[in-house]
Amino acid sequence: MTPFKLTDELVLEIQLLIDNQKDAELLSLLEEVHYADVAEIINELNPEEATYLIKLLDSDQTSDVLTELDEDVRERILNKLSAKEIAGELEELDTDDAADIVAELPNEIIQEVISEIEDREHAKDIVDLLRYDVNSAGGLMAKELVKVNENWNVLTCVKEMRTQAENVTRVHSIYVVDDEDKLKGRLSLKDLLTTATTTHIKDVYIPKVDSVNVNEKPEEVAKIMSKYDLEAIPVVDEIGRLVGRITIDDIVDVIKEEADKDYQMAAGISQGVEADDSIWELTRARLPWLFLGLLGGVCAAAIMGGFEDLISQHALLFFFTPLIAAMAGNVGVQSSAIIVQGLANDDLKGSISQRLIKEMLLAALNGVILALVLLFFTWIWQGSFITSLAISVSLIAVIIVAGIIGTFTPLFLHKRGIDPAIATGPFITTSNDIFGILIYFTIAKMLLGI
């Protein structure tokens, strides 16, 4: 398979075809293109061209295209479609994707769009899904699933399943429920292929099935599904009734978004922006963290001002402040990142005090090695052994403290129920800069006996 590659030439060709209304050529050009790739093309078009293309293509292709578009592009296209046209797209989509699109529509047209959906069962399911918090299992799940009653026999079951499977893109498991719709277990597809057709469901189903509550957080659902290698998981309400199903493709998106968010947080970028967002959006995501850095820098300046009397005799000390600040920052980020990652992956064992002791030993080991190298270098370079020694000894202290702050902060935030990822990046760098410089000058002053 040669992966699809979006090129400027292709976009230009399509724009030309649209301008000249060459519908037949457009259709044949895009016929074999996957909807995810069509979405990439449409993201590059202006709203008029995009809408033209959406209206031209068949709605079983365009509905999927809509789900893959950038949010702002989708909004502009939906603005140009009638309620009936939008309903036509929703008709083709799975309930979870349809509900996501409906949730983005302006309030005043939602009712009209829903009323235009011909399949009333589908419309009802979409409305049901709108009630759930987007940040929960309920907000992720779809209503499409194959379920059978434990009191049926296999014959009824297979007949029912054929009907249900028509509406389900991917059949993963067949869920078994009782008369009150409570989830009892599952029938695997493999069982279906290998079991005789005369048995009763009650006697063949597997009474053990993993499920999640509608209120579970998406990250937790992702952890459960990836830990237990599940491709779909049923969702139950507070009293155990089967209300929906989450599939692994949605979870892959959750995992990627979580990873992107943590990465950006560590880099001092908030709000999940992308490189192609506007300068204004990028500024809003970046400026707050830069202000934090500015504040930290001013504090550092104030601290150094307090040691001004050292400057005439020991200017060398001042030359090494960037080094001290950088080391404090680097060590802090290293320590916090590994804790944040351990917390995210649930593979952190032992108590906080054990962690701190380990980090202290680690920092001390690294600190001594680095300090010896630095001592050797500054001594040769500047000739003053006592100043060089003061810088190196302070460096060890700074690295140990930075390691402890970097370890303790995310653990503390996590205990308090705050996302520890916030403690990585600028936050830890800035506080470590300040503490580092304070410790450095204090120790150096003591050692130099001034």
Within positions 146 to 185, which residues make up the interface with a second copy, using CB under 8 A? 161-162, 165-166, 168-171
Backbone torsion region of residue 212, taken as left when φ is above 0, otherwise alpha when ψ lies between -120 and 50, otherwise beta: beta
Using rule CB under 8 A, residue 248 touches a second copy: yes
In the set 26, 187, 214, 266, which binds a second copy (CB under 8 A)? 266
Tokens encoding 195? 């079991």
Which residue stretch of 54-62, 80-88, 137-145, 281-289 sits at the interface with a second copy (rule: CB under 8 A)? 281-289
Q: How many residues bind a second copy (CB under 8 A)?
A: 116
CB of 417 to a second copy, least distance (A): 17
Using rule CB under 8 A, residue 251 touches a second copy: yes
Which residue stretch of 12-20, 50-58, 79-87, 186-194 sits at the interface with a second copy (rule: CB under 8 A)? 186-194
For the four alpha carbons of 71, 72, 74 and 75, in that order, the dihedral sign comes to: positive
Which residue stretch of 21-29, 77-85, 199-207, 298-306 sits at the interface with a second copy (rule: CB under 8 A)? 298-306
CB of 34 to a second copy, least distance (A): 6
Site for a second copy in 206-245 (CB under 8 A): 208, 210-213, 220, 224, 226-229, 231
In the set 312, 353, 383, 416, which binds a second copy (CB under 8 A)? 312
Cβ proximity of 344 and 410 under 8 Å: no
Degrees, nearest 5: CA angle 317-439-355:
135
In the set 322, 376, 412, 450, which binds a second copy (CB under 8 A)? 322
Site for a second copy in 89-148 (CB under 8 A): none
Q: Please say which residue, 54 or 161, places its beta carbon nearer to a second copy.
A: 161
Cβ proximity of 132 and 208 under 8 Å: no
Using rule CB under 8 A, residue 376 touches a second copy: no
Which residue stretch of 48-56, 130-138, 149-157, 329-337 sits at the interface with a second copy (rule: CB under 8 A)? 329-337
Give the amino acid at 302.
Answer: A
Q: How far apart are CA 252 and CA 338, in angstroms?
A: 23
Q: Please say which residue, 14 or 87, places its beta carbon nearer to a second copy.
A: 14
CB of 148 to a second copy, least distance (A): 13
In angstroms, the Cα distances linking 320 to 26, 441, 448 are 65, 10, 15
Site for a second copy in 9-48 (CB under 8 A): 32, 34, 36, 44
In the set 111, 274, 313, 376, which binds a second copy (CB under 8 A)? 274
Q: Please say which residue, 290 or 386, places its beta carbon nearer to a second copy.
A: 290
Using rule CB under 8 A, residue 437 touches a second copy: yes
Which residue stretch of 19-27, 54-62, 112-120, 310-318 sits at the interface with a second copy (rule: CB under 8 A)? 310-318
Site for a second copy in 332-371 (CB under 8 A): 333-334, 336-339, 341-342, 345, 347-349, 355, 358, 361-362, 365-366, 369-370
